[in-house]
Amino acid sequence: MSSNNNIVSFETEQLILVDSDDDVVGYKSKAECHDNDGILHRAFSLFIFNDKREVIMQKRAADKRLWPLIWSNSCCSHPRKGETCEYATTRRLKEELGLEAELHFLYKFQYHARWKDIGSENELCSVYIGKSSDLPAINDTEIADWKWISRDDLNRDLENNPDSYSPWFKMEWKEIQDNYWDRVESLYS
């Protein structure tokens, strides 16, 4: 496994503020978007599966402001001012995991989650799936650890250790299994 330590995330980067209809209403720094209860902004989550139907999971880096050392989905981030979600998802997958994959949009949802007294995620999040069996080259500034894991093993671990996983991942994984698993299966046809 190769890795890199390029810094790809900045508290000063301008994120896209949206309303609940996903209409752009302005721009604020990543730090401002995550302060206190947060400001609603555009985000995305990626789930990358391999040929064995396992999903790659990442443990967030120790110096992450929100949910450090917590397991989450393959990749999650924000489009920056001037970026489409399609561009940002491809960029971030390469920056965090060193992977390329054709990504398929599943759904969009709004959520709010607070991390201790440090800040919040307040996001309108687009969820995508893709397939790659390449070995990741993780970005050490973003990811502390990673693993490929089967659906059954992940569900078992989620049941036994729910606090080890990010709140958005838990919501997304349930929704994917309940309503979009046929789309995951279609990655293999």
Q: Mapping DSSP to helix (H, G, I), strand (E, B) and coil, where does residue 7 land?
A: coil
- Count the neighbouring beta carbons within 10 Å of the beta carbon of residue 48: 26
123 is annotated as an active-site residue: yes
Catalytic-role residue among 76, 85, 96, 142: 76
Catalytic-role residue among 96, 121, 123, 172: 123
Identify the helix (H) or strand (E) that includes residue 69.
none
Q: Mapping DSSP to helix (H, G, I), strand (E, B) and coil, where does residue 87 land?
A: helix
Name the nearest CA neighbour of 45 among 112, 123, 102.
123
List Cα–Cα distances, 101 to 50, 92, 98, 128, 133, in angstroms: 11, 11, 10, 11, 10
Alpha-carbon torsion, ordered 96, 10, 39, 46, to 10 deg = -10
Question: Which amino acids are annotated catalytic?
Answer: 76, 123
